[in-house]
Amino acid sequence: MNKTSLIDAFNIERKTPKISAISDYEIFSDKKLLDELRTTIVENLIDKEIPEDKVLNEFINEEIESAIEGYDLTNLERSHLYNLIENEINGFGPLTELLEDKNITEIMVNSPNEIYIEIDGQIIKDESVSFINDEHIVRTIERLIEPLGRTIDVANPMVDSRLLDGSRINAVIPPLSTKGPVITIRKFKETMTSIDDLIRIGSLTPYMARFLEASVKGKLNIIVCGGTGSGKTTLLNILSSFIGSQERIITIEDAAELHLHQEHVISLETRVTNYDNDGEITIRDLVRNSLRMRPDRILVGEVRGKEAFDMLQAMNTGHDGSLTTLHANGASDALNRLETMVLMSGLDIPIKAIREYIISAIDLVVTIERMNDGRRKVTSISEINGFIDDRIQLKDIFKFNQKGLTETGEVDGEFVLFKTTPRVYKKLIAHGINDLDDIFSK
């Protein structure tokens, strides 16, 4: 009799309604027993094959009933167990409900029993979730990346891509990871879609928001910098919403995370090498190609290497209003990194010439940080203000001054607006934007 492997059947849609998730794991008296039963059932199902004359749902239920026979489980415990198996069949195993939880912004799997999540900027260990073993983690990775046309194995032990909902997944397996398979998922959060959202949560002030909106509409070239998880891409997404609907926008990314709502948008994405180590298309390749596509704006998701020179070249050759992000801890650090990346391009250019190139290309550096309490704040908006002793001079327009922490652990501080009208305001006026007098006159 022909049989079907249950691993293949894991992709078959179950016809019965999904059992409600049990969110509070602490209600169970014997969590260890439930984990052991889950392990037994999953391993039995994987090792077995489904007879051709069996309905998948009936076969699964029989296996579960057989495994729990003789155990005195409550209805809640039985429902929880069924739900775990359901997630294995039609979801992404232990990660299913974490991916569905809109409050979770990041999922980090370090080992089968070491899973961390980020909620409201705070990273906590989730004791209610676990994998059976390393092989279970690898199976889950494969299920996550299969719809993306990606694979992970010894020959290709690393994957960096985006899920269908826009979330970003990074997975590493041995031999690159000595600890075992590791998963990091940064979830795409739809709640932060406008500048008003950032004002509401205290990331910036209405004055700062108005200035940034005017800067984008006035076609200033802007770098958004910050550390890992600081919110650079979210801020870039929001800033891009101020670009006019009539403009032709080219976005360039490793994994498409920008979600522009304008009509005339071309999204370009890099390509990794194939099994023969050829066919790679880099950010630099795409930046160079975009110049031949008649762009009004070029948005690079993140500049991190040789493409920095090409990005600056685009900004210096009439493509005003370009936006990008850069991994750095502050505006000065961002410019230092930019110098280093231009040097990586292999061109024999004196450092002073590079700095002059940066000064003529970049108008604003916007720094966003994740503070000690987990909240994100735009901690400075700075303009480039020429040379001092052969060094690029930055001048703050807005700045967040932290005073300390409150008794509840929240960051205490204030946003400061510097009195001098910024030099870039002349550029904004030249683009017909002259409604910021009330801000700078104060």
pLDDT in tens, 82-125: 777 777 777 788 898 899 888 898 999 999 999 999 987 788 99
The reported pLDDT for the residue numbered 116 is 96
Share of the chain above pLDDT 70, in %: 84
Share of the chain above pLDDT 90, in %: 42
- State how far the Cα of 287 lies from the Cα of 411, in Å rounded to an integer: 39
More confident of the two residues 249 and 78? 249
Conformational region of residue 93, where left means phi above 0, alpha means psi within -120 to 50, and beta covers everything else: left
φ/ψ of residue 6, rounded to 5: -70, -25
Over residues 54-66, the mean pLDDT reads 70
Check: CB of residue 248 under 8 Å from CB of residue 232: no
Check: CB of residue 374 under 8 Å from CB of residue 344: no
The single residue listed with the structure tokens 């009439």 is 318
List, for residues 122-149, the tens digit of each pLDDT value: 889 998 888 888 988 998 999 899 888 8
Angle, vertex CA 99, rays to CA 149 and CA 142, nearest 5? 30
The reported pLDDT for the residue numbered 277 is 58
Residue 387 CA, chain-centre distance (Å), reads 35
Q: Is residue 403 pLDDT above 80, yes or no?
A: yes
More confident of the two residues 361 and 69? 361
The reported pLDDT for the residue numbered 181 is 96
Q: What is the CATH number of domain 195-440?
A: 3.40.50.300
Check: CB of residue 45 under 8 Å from CB of residue 6: yes
Confidence band for 31, pLDDT divided at 50, 70 and 90: low
- Return the H-helix or E-strand segment holding 51: strand 49-51
Q: Of 236, 247, 258, 239, which Cα lies nearest the Cα of 294? A: 247
φ/ψ of residue 420, rounded to 5: -70, 135
- State how far the Cα of 367 lies from the Cα of 378, in Å rounded to an integer: 6
Check: CB of residue 400 under 8 Å from CB of residue 416: yes
List, for residues 283-334, the tens digit of each pLDDT value: 889 999 998 999 999 999 999 888 999 889 888 888 899 999 999 999 999 9
- Strand (E) positions, 167-306? 168-172, 182-186, 222-226, 249-253, 265-269, 297-300
Q: State whether residue 55 is helix, strand or coil.
A: coil
Q: Of 224, 201, 241, 171, which Cα lies nearest the Cα of 374? A: 201
Weakest-pLDDT range from 24-38, 158-172, 222-236, 418-432: 24-38
Q: Of 261, 262, 270, 260, which Cα lies nearest the Cα of 290? A: 270
Weakest-pLDDT range from 59-73, 202-216, 233-247, 310-324: 59-73
* Amino acid sitting at position 254: D
The reported pLDDT for the residue numbered 442 is 56
Confidence band for 269, pLDDT divided at 50, 70 and 90: confident
The reported pLDDT for the residue numbered 51 is 64
φ/ψ of residue 148, rounded to 5: -90, -5
Q: 91-189: which CATH topology?
A: Beta-Lactamase (3.30.450)
- State how far the Cα of 320 lies from the Cα of 434, in Å rounded to an integer: 19
List, for residues 235-253, the tens digit of each pLDDT value: 999 999 999 999 999 999 8
The reported pLDDT for the residue numbered 3 is 38
Which positions ≥6 away from 45 have C-beta within 8 Å? Answer: 6, 60, 63, 85, 88
Largest pairwise CA distance in the chain: 85
Over residues 360-370, the mean pLDDT reads 95
Confidence band for 254, pLDDT divided at 50, 70 and 90: confident
Q: With b meaning 16 or more CB within 10 Å and e meaning fewer, what string describes 157-190?
A: eebebbbeebbbbebbbeeeeeebbbbbbbbbbe
* Amino acid sitting at position 15: K
**pTM as predicted:** 0.74
Q: Is residue 404 pLDDT above 50, yes or no?
A: yes
Averaged pLDDT of the chain: 83
Q: Is residue 281 pLDDT above 50, yes or no?
A: yes
The residues spanned by each domain of the chain are 1-90, 91-189, 195-440
The single residue listed with the structure tokens 């990775």 is 141
Q: State whether residue 203 is helix, strand or coil.
A: coil
Q: Is residue 15 pLDDT above 50, yes or no?
A: no
